[in-house]
Structure 1
Amino acid sequence: MESKPRLSFWQIWNMCFGFLGIQFGFALQNANVSRIFQTLGADMEQVPGLWIAAPLTGLLVQPVVGYFSDRTWTRLGRRRPYFLAGAILATLALFAMPNSPTLWIAAGMLWILDASINISMEPFRAFVGDQLPSSQRAGGYAMQSFFIGAGAIVASLLPWLLARAGVANTAAPGEVPDTVRYAFYFGGAVLFAAIGWTVLRTREYPPEALARFDGAQPPPVRGAGGGLQAPAVAALPWLLAGLALAALIAARGWDRMLYVLAGMSIAYGALLLVARVLPAGGMLPTILSDLRAMPLAMRRLAVVQFFSWFALFAMWIYTTAAVAGVHFGSDDPTSVAYNEGANWVGVLFAAYNGFAALAAIAIPWMARALGLRGAHLLNLWLGAAGLLSFLLVRDPQWLLLPMLGVGFAWASILSLPYAMLSDSLPAAKMGVYMGIFNFFIVIPQLVAASLLGFLLKSLFGGRPLWALALGGASLALAGLCVLRVPRPPAMEAKA
């Protein structure tokens, strides 16, 4: 077996540069979509449901793209055709979304935008695993985090900067302000240019070369499944649990968003049954059997990811409403105070992404000093402290300080779990397993979108500030779960 060659700094730079554009699109989405929905007439209770489009598209798109990209080889390579296709679609969606005339069209555009970004993003995760030897992967994922932070700084700040430049920051009822529209136009151009740079400036190993490298087929990990299709009876508990929850929601008159949880359970049970009748080796049976055969490290990292992304989604959904209502004193999307608060949330999001870019530089050093697990634990707890401190801080200027902790957590979430994971995965299935790993990013977002509104209304009087506190508690729990993750095989070999 050959050793995979080490890449130079600039080679890693070029292969990760596309993430600058991907995060430009995501940052515009995260900082402004709730604002767009409320501008077009959505009540605060409706906003989480409208956000369901984002994680649901990831749940559907990423494993499918991963499955097909593992089996693709064209003149552009293995992953790069998906980079380019996603970039074209995402650029068009960014141009269109701020011009949505109605709420339902804006919700549909969010589906298209998120699906398009996911088409590009999923192969980027596998791309690092394909191209880099084990010793460089933590640095490669940290480089991605750097570009994510750098892109999101500018993208999150754009509406605020445009307002400072004299662009109109308010509009007639039902119309998106010019600051948001122009930010989306600029973001579309940046996304396409950045991903285009990676497509043009990188090369890929063909499948036969990947198969020759060390670690192409890591040894089985104790605790992994056998990769076999689930027996038909395995679907029964999921179907019954979903039906029972749906009946309970109807009987108690609970929030209709909870039906999403019931639907997820029923859908998984139904997919297990469908996979039983499809030919073995097809896309759905393969994805589900690989899901059941996850290595132990991946299973335990999935729990860490669940609580981490639950917290992030709570922050993305509710920060605008929390800051505008508590710190700027307005819940009216047409008011000057609300839009000033919404712009300040863009500044806060830019701040945590800026801190994340700096943290990405420090993370390889932290990983060497504390180990991958210790570094991730510390960073998640810094993020937990940041979100919990929103309960105490009342001066909006001082909210910049909690963003330091959130930035370290964000950079760590985007890099260290993938560094811990990639050494446990076979090269031939890097794409599909990275797509499956995304389940544990999008499922907690679906849970957050369906459950948070119910919890806030039932326990916290509908106050969105408490969603950020729940996010802080979730990050703290994610940190504890890191301790259960086994050390990567490469690290064990060096110990």
Structure 2
Amino acid sequence: MATKQNNTKPPSLQVEPATPPPESSPLRKIIVVASIAAGINFGWALQLSLLTPYVQLLGTPHFWASFIWLCGPVSGLMVQPIVGFYSDRCTSRFGRRRPFIAAGALAVAVAVFLIGYSADLGHMMGDSLEKKTRPRSIGVFVFGFWILDVANNMLQGPCRALLADLAAGDSRKTRTANGFFSFFMAVGNVLGYAAGADGKLYKSFSFTKTKACNEYCANLKSCFFISIALLIFVTVIAVIYVKEKPLESQKGGNEGDDSVDEGAGSLPCFGQLLGAFRELKRPMWILLLVTCLNWVAWFPFLMFDTDWMAKEVYGGTVGEGKAYNKGVHAGSLGLMLNSVVLGVVSLGVEVLARVVGGVKRLWGIVNILLAACLAATVLVTKLAEQSRKFAPGSHDPLPPSAGVSAAALSLFAVLGIPLAITYSIPFALASIFSNKSGAGQGLSLAVLNLAIVIPQMFVSVVNGPWDALFGGGNLPAFVAGAVAAAASGILSMILLPSPPPDFKPSAIGGMH
């Protein structure tokens, strides 16, 4: 018989097993599944470092480039709840999670092909190489980009859920699983940014350079080929080595399924999310507000970090000369440094929290640091403009001075500190606050995800017009992000409740 609490609380996005959970799996299986994060984040790093410059190379104006990044938050908003809901209820003989993981990896491969060959396919369909804008190539790129973001969300959610299944309620193994997932995220980032920083990688794949695809485009293809090979490799090993019991076997039949699946045809996962908002307590609402402002600050930089390096620091112009491409590769190097710092700091979040007097104070401090770094992009840009030099008879600027380059790369590296906190503390706080109110962890993280993707959608829509209002470039959005980061830091220290003394930030791994 259902309890009173079950009648008043919104159901979790997870299926409650009718039998006691099985024993936790060996650590080696957890590591194998967690390694999928390296393949996912290799491709994610390439998106952040190379795709904004590439879509502008196809002729998309800077004004419209940010709209393409709507793909990520929209797909996250729609796909994560749906995939999470139905992977919980999947009755395939291969298990609940593995079919979604395999399908996600296959979809990533298709998307990568479309993105890498968008210039060639557009040319085959009639794009003129003499014109700056290639509409058919842009169309293929955008279609592939949407598939890629949908596939990444389809892949990442079930992968995290499978790690939780393998831990089987063991808190120590849950922390360990999330720790390994975060570690492999950092590994994937470092590999992806290192590949993006190597401007000569295409020489190892000579077939990638074509009439419609220049050196930068060919290098992007080469990076994606390596990315998909890594993802397929780790995914195949994981789905073959780690077995799952079908859902019916775990539950002993379909008893009780009617109540679980009621309304499945109308996507009940979204109804559950809406119902959860009616149950939120004040601490969770404050957490959502701080997280929302935090991502308003982060997303402009994540969209245009390498573009800023190429345009404002190196003084390059898309499709003209070599300065822009050199700046993109330098930005990829900066993102690799960022990932190294991210990985190191992620291992010491608990220590840092004790040093500064608590997690909410730590989050506030690093958000102030984020604001300072975003504001400092203005100073670095001005220094780069004042010291810019040109070779005799050339309109292509020389690389910036060593001091300017060091300052720009230092900003990338220092930003790894607040990024490590962004990838850990909000998710752990959501778990703590929801547990105190009686909500399920899957439901609480789905609610928190809305505070991440909705700001990203907002920034994607307003970023282009906002930058254009102040004459173009990336600095207006960065300055607005600095203001949002400062507000997030102040609210975190003043309004956010402190978690219990035994709270461990590392219990929830990084997420994007």
Q: Are 1:143 and 2:175 counterparts?
A: no
1:337 equivalent in alignment to 2:323:
yes
| Other-structure match for 2:373 | 386
- Alignment match of 1:491 (pick from 492, 498, 502): 502
Provide the rounded CA distance (Å) in 2 between the counterparts of 1:194 and 1:327: 37
Q: TM-score, normalised by structure 2?
A: 0.73
Give the number of the structure whose alpha-carbon radius of gyration is greater: 2
1:16-165 to 2 correspondences below 5 Å = 16-100=34-118, 101=122, 102-127=137-162, 131=167, 133-134=170-171, 140-163=177-200
- Tell me the CA shift for residue 154 of structure 1: 1.2
Letter in 1 for 2:108: A
Residues 366-405 of structure 1: pairs in structure 2 closer than 5 A:
366-367=352-353, 369=355, 370-393=357-380, 394=384, 395-405=404-414
* 2:63 counterpart SS class: coil
Maintained 8 Å contact 1:310/1:444: yes
- Name whichever of 20-29 and 195-204 sits farther off: 195-204
What's the offset of the Cα at 1:397? 3.2
Partners of 2:448 and 2:359 in 1: CA distance: 18
Shift of 1:6: 8.0
**What pairs up with 1:415-494 in 2 under 5 angstroms?**
415-425=424-434, 429-458=440-469, 460-483=470-493, 484-488=495-499, 491=502
Stretch moving more, 194-203 or 41-50 = 194-203
- Going from structure 1 to structure 2, the CA distance change for 1:4 and 1:480 (only over 3 Å counts) comes to farther
Query: In 2 relative to 1, CA 201–360 (structure 1 residues): closer, same or farther, beyond 3 Å?
Result: farther
1:433 to partner: Cα distance: 4.0
Deviation at 1:469, TM superposition (A): 2.9
Deviation at 1:486, TM superposition (A): 3.3
TM-score by length of 1: 0.75
2:227 corresponding residue in structure 1: 187
**Residues 267-325 of structure 1, C-alpha deviations (whole Å, 9 max, x = no match):** xxxxxxxxxx9999934423322343345444332222212222222012222332222
SS at match of 2:496: coil
Is the alpha carbon distance of 1:152 and 1:361 closer, same or farther for their aligned partners in structure 2, counting shifts above 3 Å? Answer: same
Instruction: Please state how far the C-alpha of 1:107 moved relative to its aligned partner.
Output: 0.9
Whole-angstrom distance in 2 between the partners of 1:443 and 1:371: 28
Whether the 8 Å contact between 1:90 and 1:117 is mirrored in structure 2 is yes
Q: 1:62 to 1:32 in 2, by over 3 A?
A: same
**Residue 289 in 1 paired to residue 329 in 2?**
no
Q: Give the direction of change, closer, same or farther, for the CA distance of 1:317–1:111 in structure 2 (3 Å limit).
A: same
Query: Contact between 2:431 and 2:444, CA under 8 Å: does it hold in 1?
Result: no
CA shift, 1:109, in A, is: 0.9
**1:171 CA displacement:** 7.8
Q: Is the CA contact (8 Å cut-off) linking 2:93 and 2:246 kept in structure 1?
A: no
Q: 1:156 to 1:172 in 2, by over 3 A?
A: farther
TM-fit CA distance, 1:488: 4.3
Give, in angstroms, the shift of residue 104 of structure 1: 1.3
**Matched letter for residue 354 of structure 1:** V
Total equivalences in the alignment: 427
SS at match of 1:45: helix
Q: What is the percent sequence identity of the aligned residues?
A: 25
Runs of at least 5 residues in structure 1 that lack an aligned partner in the other structure: 212-276
* Deviations 1:141-171 (CA, angstroms, capped at 9, x unpaired): 4433322222111112213325278569998
* In structure 2, C-alpha distance between the alignment counterparts of 1:284 and 1:206, rounded to whole Å: 25
Asked whether the equivalents of residues 149 and 355 of structure 1 are also in contact (C-alpha less than 8 Å), the reply is no
Distance in 2, Cα, partners of 1:151 & 1:301 = 29
1:372–1:293 distance in 2 versus 1, CA, 3 Å: same
Aligned-partner Cα distance in 2 for 1:45–1:170: 28
Amino acid at match of 1:31: S
CA distance in 1, matches of 2:188, 2:156: 14
Q: CA 1:361–1:284 in structure 2 vs 1: closer, same or farther (change >3 Å)?
A: closer
